[in-house]
Amino acid sequence: MSRDSRFDILFEPVKIGPVTARNRFYQVPHCSGMGYRYPNAEAHLRGMKAEGGWAVVSTQEAEIHPTSDLTPANEARLWDDGDLPALSAVTERIHAHGSLAAIQLVHNGLHVANRFSRMIPLAPSHAVSDSLDPVQARAMDKADITDMRRWYRNAALRAKKAGFDVVYLYAGHDMSVLQHFLSRRHNDRSDEYGGSFENRLRLFREILDDVREAIGDTCALAVRLAVDELMGPSGITCEGEGKDIISALGELPDLWDVNLSDWSNDSQTARFSEEGYQEPYIRFVKSVTTKPVVGVGRYTSPDSMVRVVKQGILDFIGAARPSIADPFLPKKIEEGRIDDIRECIGCNICTSGDNTNVPMRCTQNPTVGEEWRKGWHPETIARSEAPEPALIIGGGPAGLEAARALAQRGVDVMLAEGGGEWGGRVARECRLPGLATWGRVRDWRIGQLSTRVNAELYLHSPLSAADILQYGIPHVAIATGASWRTDGVGRTHRMALDFLSEGILVSPDAILSEGAEAVPSDGPVVVFDDDCFYMGSVLAELLARRGRTVTFVTPESQVSPWSRNTLEQARIQKRLIGLCVEIVTAMALAGRTKDQLELSCVYSGRSRPVDCATLVPVTARLPDETLWLELKAREAEWADAGIKTITRLGDCLAPGLIAAAVYSGHQYARTYQEQVDKDRVPFMREDIARLYGLRSG
């Protein structure tokens, strides 16, 4: 197929100073959880984006000096020449596919605690580090400013030596000393670097000049700027100093990369924003500069991409999350394969990797982070040399991905779902408030399977152990999911609570299947959340929007604490407060009377009652392993029936994230005929000593 002519504008080359991007697709700087600690994984991740057609591929932020030490985060580093081999590996992988390599230089100022270097953080003014570490940054004096300018210059020289084509100055997300100097909130200096707007802009202007001189006329100079902090007059705004900064410096860099600050505003989840949500804040930029502009907005629709270019909002379609979900998004548009695009669902599981200091993962793309260590490619998978048929039982995320990838391998696959719709938990959860895009996990896989003549899909097809033995299909995967517990067992209560055995309980599964109508219409509802991610809060939101009186009880100190890793926690808690949900923290379940639950403080044991007609416990889940246990009981019959393997996948094996279920299904498809050596590490590990020339061979 050839591309639709209406998308031609997306494939026009665009000059960025002395270099030219081959199209308008631009992977903006984003963290990967790999960085300097996992350099081969980092290089292969970025190289995959270039192979997929992104004209510019950026690293994450690169620390320029040990006084900007983000340990334990796995970012890039340019502390000295010893960091060049890792970064040169990145540029080589990007250049191999004809793309430009970009690096984002940063000194993080008061954003760091320097846990590894143990050096004192630097800031425009005396300030507490914005981590929880008991660390303060000291106010920079003139000698420090001279040092800072030299560190940026030296880092730029190293970046050029490593082969980068675009060198960024980072002034975004409230994570950069350059933004801190610009900010009235952080900069209360009284010298020529503080006070007036022009004074607060001075260091930025000086470092722009320094870096321009360092990189010369062969590299492009880019600025990443937060044009609005969503703080009103307390912060930078797009109508105020965000616009003033670009107006003052408009022609100095070769490219402006503009976004919102902080990271939670820039990378909002689909639960709280729509595609293109940054446009109202960034649409002014091209009116005050002639230089090309890149911005983001979780764009997955080619029509939206064309619109923002034609409307003069952006020159480049910037992407982080959509390029993770589908590294080959540009090529698919170019080749007219729009239906093959694996659209980002905006869940931010990718950001959780960086926030937990491990290589990223993705709900839609199970190969991300595995490009090097497992050799997984997002678009290609080796055909089985001697394919044997497979039966997948369960049409949820694990089963769908297993069937899709097996069919891609040339395997004859039968997918049987006992219910009347595809998607399993995804089908139910995407009907919850704000989670509609999660249905893309199901829709993309069903769409891919529908084109495969070697895939047979059956709804309303519950299978028994006897059925499976009778079919005699060599390889069987059970992906029957899991169900929520109603006995209170979870992180806090490790044993069942006897007082929950009576009739006030409504399972989350009932609400997922029947909606808010599953909860009786009279009396207050208590949602007890011991799961700590999204489910408890979104069920409370659903019920509150239906006019119910809801109390949200959690043993934790805040609502949905794990959602800090997906950058949602503050928005979740704010939304529940706005819906008049009463929030009770640090409380466990202790007992009940007819109309009340007894709660106990997790610290003191002190008790308090809460009115409760219905309790929705969001605690732990149990795998639906009935079929598995029945088949295990008849294991002696497998061989005679022609069955070689029976494997559990996804939540049926161990309940977890949807991303984990998709990964489980994908891994099964790649290995379904292999004998697993449980004593062998199942992936390659980084040999840092060899990379840095400390060991030969």
255-260 vs 293-295, strand pairing mode: parallel
- Among candidate residues 65, 107, 111, 173, the one labeled active-site is 173
Cα–Cα distance, 228 to 416 (Å, whole number): 50
Nearest Cα to Cα of residue 46 among 6, 4, 86, 5: 86
DSSP string, 215-272: HTTTSEEEEEEEEE-SSGGGS--TTTHHHHHHHHHTTSSSEEEEEESSHHHHT--TTT
Straight-line distance from the first to the last Cα atom of the chain, in angstroms, rounded to the nearest whole number: 46
Cα–Cα distance, 168 to 23 (Å, whole number): 19
| Torsion of the alpha carbons at 331, 264, 372 and 66, rounded to the nearest 10 | 130
Please say whether the beta carbons of 550 and 542 come within 8 A.
no
Cα–Cα distance, 49 to 52 (Å, whole number): 5
DSSP string, 352-364: HHHHTTS----SS
Please say whether the beta carbons of 81 and 150 come within 8 A.
no
Nearest Cα to Cα of residue 277 among 303, 246, 255, 304: 304
Helices (runs of H) and strands (runs of E) counted in the chain: 22, 28
DSSP string, 469-504: HHH--SEEEE---EEE-SS--SSS--S--GGGSSTT
Cα–Cα distance, 380 to 223 (Å, whole number): 36
Q: Across 289-426, where does the E strand assignment appear?
A: 293-295, 316-319, 390-393, 413-416
Q: How long is the chain?
A: 697
Cα–Cα distance, 356 to 561 (Å, whole number): 13
Please say whether the beta carbons of 624 and 483 come within 8 A.
yes
Annotation says 266 is catalytic: yes
Strand partners, 575: none
Cα dihedral across residues 26, 29, 30, 31: positive or negative: positive
Determine which helix (DSSP H) or strand (DSSP E) holds 206, and give its type and residue range: helix 197-215
Cα–Cα distance, 388 to 372 (Å, whole number): 28
> Torsions phi, psi of 648, nearest 5?
-95, 145
According to DSSP, residue 278 is labeled: T
**Cis peptide bond prior to 188, omega within 30° of 0:** no
Q: Which amino acid is at 18?
A: P
Cα–Cα distance, 442 to 364 (Å, whole number): 10
- Among candidate residues 31, 344, 362, 652, the one labeled active-site is 31
Please say whether the beta carbons of 23 and 330 come within 8 A.
yes
Annotation says 31 is catalytic: yes
- Among candidate residues 69, 266, 529, 624, the one labeled active-site is 266
Cα–Cα distance, 351 to 33 (Å, whole number): 9
* Residues known to be catalytic: 31, 170, 173, 266
